[in-house]
Structures are given as C-alpha cells and as structure tokens.
Amino acid sequence: MGLPREDQEQNGGEEFIDKQKLAAPIKSVVDKYRLLPEFLKVRGLVKQHLDSFNYFVNIGIKKIVRANDRIVSNFDPGIYLRFKDVRIGEPGAMVDSFLEKLNPHMCRLSDMTYAAPIFVNIEYIHGSHDQKTKVEKNDVIIGRMPIMLRSCQCVLSGKNEAELARLGECPLDPGGYFIVKGTEKVILIQEQLSKNRIIIGTDKKGNINASVTSSTETTKSKTVIQMEKGKMYLFLNQFAKKIPIMVVLKAMGMESDQEVVQMVGRDPQYSAMLLPSIEECASHEIYTQQQALDYLEAQVPYSCCTYCWKCLFLYSVL
C-alpha cells in the first residue's frame, strides 16, 4: 500500500518503504507458503545447477587447464606439450564420418549421449637434441563432455516456445540435467563446508578448533588448529600425529618466543594462552628453526624419501 499524497510529498514524491519490516523474519508458516511460488518464479528449482555448469564451462575448465598447462618429457626437459586454451564446442556426434549436430530429443530417441567436443589449442616441441621444432595446432579434440540441458552450451538456450516445440521439447521443462545413452541423468546436490574460509567450532569432546579446507585447481588439504588441555596443536594430513603449534611457528622462522607473542597480540591474555604451548616446545628442546624442521621431518610418514625431498616437502607445507 502507498502512503497518502501528502506523505509522499514529504518524502520527495517517493513512496516510503519500511526496510526494517521487510528484513524481519517471517514467522508464520502460512506466509512462508505464500512466498514459495514467487521464489520459484524468480529463482526456480534448477538455477543452481545451471549456474554451476555455466561457471565450469566458461571459467572453471580454463582455470584447470591453466594450472596443468605444461607436460615435460622425463628424458629431455626441452621437449614439452603445452595447452594454450580450451573451449567447449556445439553438441554433436560423428555419424558416417560426418559431424552431425545433436539436440536432446534426438538423443533420447537414438539412445545417444548429448555431448559436445572439447577443443584445445596446443604447442609442443619434438625432434632430437640438435634439431627441435616447435609446432602449434588449434582446435584439437581431446574428449567429449555431456552438456546440461538449458545451459549456455545447449541448443535449447534462448529458444522461445515455438522453437522449443519444433525441437520436440516441452516449454515447461526447466532443464538442469544430462542425457547419457538416451537416459536422463541428474547430479545430486551435496552440501559441504565452504572452501578457503576459516571455520571456528568445537569437536565431540568440546575442544575449540579452527579449521580451513584449502582448495586449488590442483591440490586440496584440510588444516586444523585445536586447543587440548590449554595447549594448541596443528593437525595436518601430511604429518603422522598432531604437532605443537610453537614447533610449527619456529619452523617458519619465528625462533624468539617474545616475537611470537608480539605477533599474536600484546594483550596479557594472549601471553597466558600461549604459555603452555611455549613450555611444551621447550620440553622437546626445540629452540631454533633447524631443530623444529628436524622434529617435523621425523613426523613425515614417508620413510623411503630422501632428506632433501623431505625438506622441500616441509617447506612446501609451511
């Protein structure tokens, strides 16, 4: 409802909106049920599927290729293969040595997979030590990817009702699924913790911990710092057991206990919190960075690895 004319004039001719009331939680189940159709009208049930697939096709797959863009020969480092770019083509399949365009209805009837080729631009070196040649090739097919219906790569994207009917599709079909060998397949939604964000919580015993799942295009690891009996420990998959936090800090180059306390905070409560961990580190007779690295090296479970490899591994972890 709008305000009376005189109230609108006092507000510069604009209708007043109570933002606090709009932001208030909806308590009535009846009111929530009334909002459901509007929510589905705006967002839909498959928007998260389409957004995720579109992001992967346009951005995600390029990041993965960029992170693993170079393959070097084990015998001659000068011989390599490099991926320069990647893109997804239009849905199609080879029929009698000819590339035939596909649509979802055709795949359902013919028990085919609704997929598109993956094209890459490559650069590689070949030849002997004396004569090496660089070769560049574009649009090399390295595989095929199933295409989600109604995504940006689908032939149904942007079609009106008449065009959809001509392609044998229902205009009310929201998409968000795949067609594999003529059968419709849906990827189930999974809920997982946010990546690259520190999450504070407690374990089953009530110990306070801070955890973060670090993820890149190539690696994934989980780091946990936990309080146990007033002492702080680091839990990492690369180590066989928990590591006192002061040992980790000394291995990173902070050999002075006073320096560690000053970096954490000047408040006396931080000093009192770190004191048990400092005493535990001293009980292990660890005072220098090298002593801390030797302690961590003993916790690496790979006994067959050389000392140099373990040192490089520890530096990469830290």
- What top-level class would CATH report for the domain 47-185? alpha beta
Going by pLDDT thresholds of 50, 70 and 90, the confidence category of residue 29 is confident
Cα separation, 303 vs 309, in Å, equals 11
Q: Is the dihedral of CA 300, 303, 307, 308 positive or negative?
A: negative
* Position 55 pLDDT exceeds 90: yes
Domain chopping of the chain, boundaries: 47-185, 199-317
Residue listed under structure tokens 């993820």:
215
Average pLDDT, the chain: 82
Hunting for tokens 């709009």 — which residue is that? 22
Stretch 3-26: mean pLDDT: 60
Q: How high is the pLDDT of residue 31? A: 79
Fold identical between 47-185 and 199-317? no
What pLDDT, in 10s, does the model give residues 216-269? 766 777 888 888 888 888 888 778 788 888 888 888 888 888 888 888 877 788
Tally of residues, the chain: 318
Report domain 199-317's class: alpha beta
Band (303; pLDDT cuts 50, 70, 90)? low
Give the pLDDT mean for 285-296: 85
* Stretch 286-307: mean pLDDT: 75
Q: How high is the pLDDT of residue 2?
A: 46
Q: Which percentage of the chain shows pLDDT scores above 70? A: 86
- What ranges make up the beta strands (E) of 109-164? 115-127, 132-146
If we measure between CA atoms, which residue out of 115, 120, 111, 108 comes closest to residue 93? 115
The arithmetic mean of pLDDT across residues 138-167, rounded, is 93
Instruction: Dump pLDDT digits (tens) for 58-88.
Output: 999 999 998 888 888 888 778 889 998 999 9
